[in-house]
Amino acid sequence: MKLSFDRVTSALALTFRNTLNKFIGEVEENFTETVANTKKAQDDAAEAISTANEAKMKSDNAQEQVNTLVVRAGESSPQVLQALTNSDGETFSTLKGVLDSKDQRIKEKADITYVDTKLSSVASGSPKGTYATLADLQTAFPTGATGIYIVSADGKWYYWNSSAWSPGGVYQSTGFGDNTIQRQYLTQSAKVGYPFAPMSTFLYSGYDLSNVGKAVKNLTIFNASTTDKFYFERIRLSSGTLTIHLGKVGWLNPASTGSGEICASLVINNFVATDAVTSVTFTANNGTNISANMVVNWAEMDVAGLNTAKPLNKFTYDICGFHQNCIFNVDLTKYDLTKLVGIPNTIYCAVGREVNLYYRNMVNLDDPSEYFVEVKDLEATECLIMKKCMRIKPTKAFTAQMKINLYKGSLLLGTLKPNVISVEDTKKTMSLLCIGDSITANAKYTAELLNINPNLTLLGTRGSGTNKHEGRAGWTADNYVKNASVDTVTNAFYNPSTSKFDFSYYMTQNPISTPTFVLINLGINDVAQKIPNDTTISNLQIMINSIRAYNSNIKILLCLPIPPSTERVDQHYLNMTSLYDAILKNFANENIPCLNLVLDRETSFPTTTTQMSARDTTLVTKVTDTIHPIDAGYFQMADALYGYLNAI
């Protein structure tokens, strides 16, 4: 039914509409101001913003209903009645009651005074300071302060709530004090401050320092200006102490381009190269504030041969200098990686027993024809420098240091200085147990040891007569540690209750007296079967530990196994040299006979004469066995081993 104009006058409708619009305008004005202020608040003020949003939703609902009522006030009375009921289902007798209720809720939920108080205490979203603990903050501002402050202990930001410091939630990150950020936690882009070339190289003159260059992976200089230039100076190894000095060009005279005073040093006592890539730190000296961090692959830091008598000061970085935050990388392709290998720190020999050390076996190349090995500084009457080897045939006991240099043309690539010790042959009474592969199973070097010293007793469960041993053809160190048997050949050292190599079990199961020496001659088959060196090293360590657990007085000889013939594929020999390095590095304190050096790889293996091919009847000599030497080769092994049996 249409609503009569007489019952609702136009004056009444106009007044109602104006009053209503004025009220809504005030509500919108207050709310707009509230929203603008709440946007400045941080985490704690977010609660006020949420409340204001809720109020806005309710206000919008009221506005929508009132607007509808006003626009359509003359359409029907049921719509007026609908306006008397709010969104929560409450019914009022008048529209004013509905609007008063909503106004009251807005005042309760988003009081502008409350919001202003919160905003005034925060003032700005940026923290004004950082304190280690809340107690420190309270001590600094016992009566409060404007702004927010970070507490490192809990990572939260705090504001003054008019009576106390209140937490406002976890800040975006923990506050950092001065000098508290460590470089390793920075990103690569943060570490590198200058756009230098990513690959730069060392320049050197007069000395080969590639063994140092290829080991350095990066170097960072701290506390240096962008105009400073540095260089390495006086790299030395003396009595096991590695020293590398860092010099600053022009330290004494800024205009100088020559050498300056050493400003930082790296000193490592009891230096032993390891495979791990390790970060080392230069320490400042002479009152300077220069420091540097260098990452080194110690496996490549082959500095044993560096001259200790004079400084090597020509190792200069000559492109842009080392600068603050400038990480420098060495291009490894610039350096020759050929080096001396398989040379233990001490080589023993016995008076009257000739030992030949072949140059070709000292280099990690199968065909080192472009290289030259020079041996110096041994007693001339006891040693003879031959074309292919150095021959030691001592007539007396002596101790000397041999100097072995490796050259490529006129360039010195490296130097090693093993000790050579000659001892008298006393034919002392001793016993020996040899553990090995087919080289031992052939029983030829063991038989020759019996011929050299009749007072030697050989022990073992294999062999015949007095020529006893523990050699098993084709076996690896892995077999001895992990297998009860291989191809029907049993492992006398395998304890079935523990499933591993057990020397104590071996001794209790066999009528064998405690040996004076245990010789381990393994590795050839480990390399041939591509067992990782790390696994072989671990297996050898298990065997050594087990022997010493039974009796720590047993003397252990851990041999560097003989290399293959030159007829063997190149990679096999290179893999053998890698095993030699691994043994020398991991068993530096063991006695290591250098059987790898004593055979001529060209002539110490069996050969036959045959025609060149089916179509070429030219007779040639070919190697028939590239692993097992001729009898003379086994005898040379015995001569070399006998020096260790007499000396240790």
Question: Using an 8 Å Cβ cutoff, are 568 and 575 in contact?
Answer: no
Q: Identify which of 642, 639, 637 has the alpha carbon closest to the alpha carbon of residue 471.
A: 637
Q: In this predicted model, which residue has the larger pLDDT, 614 or 335?
A: 614
**Which of 285, 300, 334 finishes a domain?**
334
Q: Identify which of 445, 443, 448 has the alpha carbon closest to the alpha carbon of residue 464.
A: 443
| Same domain assignment for residues 147 and 222 | no
Backbone phi and psi for residue 592, each to the nearest 5 degrees, phi listed first: -125, 95
Per-residue confidence (pLDDT) for residue 417, from 0 to 100? 87
Q: Using one digit for the tens of pLDDT, what is the confidence trace for 361-415?
A: 998 876 777 788 888 766 656 888 888 899 998 999 999 888 888 887 777 777 8
Tell whether 32 is covered by a domain. yes
Tell whether 268 is covered by a domain. yes
Q: Using one digit for the tens of pLDDT, what is the confidence trace for 523-570?
A: 999 999 999 999 999 999 999 999 999 999 999 999 999 999 988 766
| Same domain assignment for residues 138 and 237 | no
Tell whether 595 is covered by a domain. yes
| Same domain assignment for residues 564 and 636 | yes
Per-residue confidence (pLDDT) for residue 457, from 0 to 100? 97
| Same domain assignment for residues 74 and 149 | no
**Which of 275, 303, 334 finishes a domain?**
334
* pLDDT over 50 at 106, yes or no: yes
Tell whether 622 is covered by a domain. yes
Q: How confident is the model at residue 598 (pLDDT cuts 50, 70, 90)?
A: very high
In the chain, the amino acid numbered 624 is: T
Structure tokens at 492: 């006398």
| Same domain assignment for residues 107 and 131 | no
Tell whether 413 is covered by a domain. no
Strand 607-611 relative to strand 619-623, pairing: antiparallel
Which H helix or E strand runs over 375?
strand 371-376
Model confidence pTM above 0.85: no
> In terms of residue numbers, what domain contains 147?
127-170
Tell whether 466 is covered by a domain. yes
| Same domain assignment for residues 536 and 623 | yes
Strand 346-350 relative to strand 419-423, pairing: parallel
Q: Using one digit for the tens of pLDDT, what is the confidence trace for 456-478?
A: 999 999 999 999 999 999 999 99
Structure tokens at 644: 């260790």
User: Rounded to an integer, what distance in angstroms lies between the CA atom of residue 149 and that of residue 388?
Assistant: 78
Provide the domain count of the chain: 4
43: left (phi over 0), alpha (psi -120 to 50) or beta: alpha
| Same domain assignment for residues 103 and 216 | no
Strand 411-416 relative to strand 403-408, pairing: antiparallel
Q: Identify which of 403, 440, 397 has the alpha carbon closest to the alpha carbon of residue 562.
A: 440
Question: Using an 8 Å Cβ cutoff, are 489 and 533 in contact?
Answer: no
User: Rounded to an integer, what distance in angstroms lies between the CA atom of residue 36 and that of residue 49?
Assistant: 10
| Same domain assignment for residues 229 and 155 | no
Q: How many CB atoms lie within 10 A of CB 3?
A: 13
| Same domain assignment for residues 280 and 314 | yes
| Same domain assignment for residues 596 and 485 | yes
In Å, the largest CA–CA distance within the chain is 145
Q: Identify which of 627, 576, 621 has the alpha carbon closest to the alpha carbon of residue 361.
A: 576
Question: Using an 8 Å Cβ cutoff, are 413 and 210 in contact?
Answer: yes
In the chain, the amino acid numbered 572 is: H
Share above pLDDT 90 across residues of the chain, in percent, rounded to a whole number: 37
Strand 371-376 relative to strand 485-486, pairing: unpaired
| Same domain assignment for residues 456 and 577 | yes
Tell whether 201 is covered by a domain. yes
| Same domain assignment for residues 96 and 157 | no
Tell whether 347 is covered by a domain. no
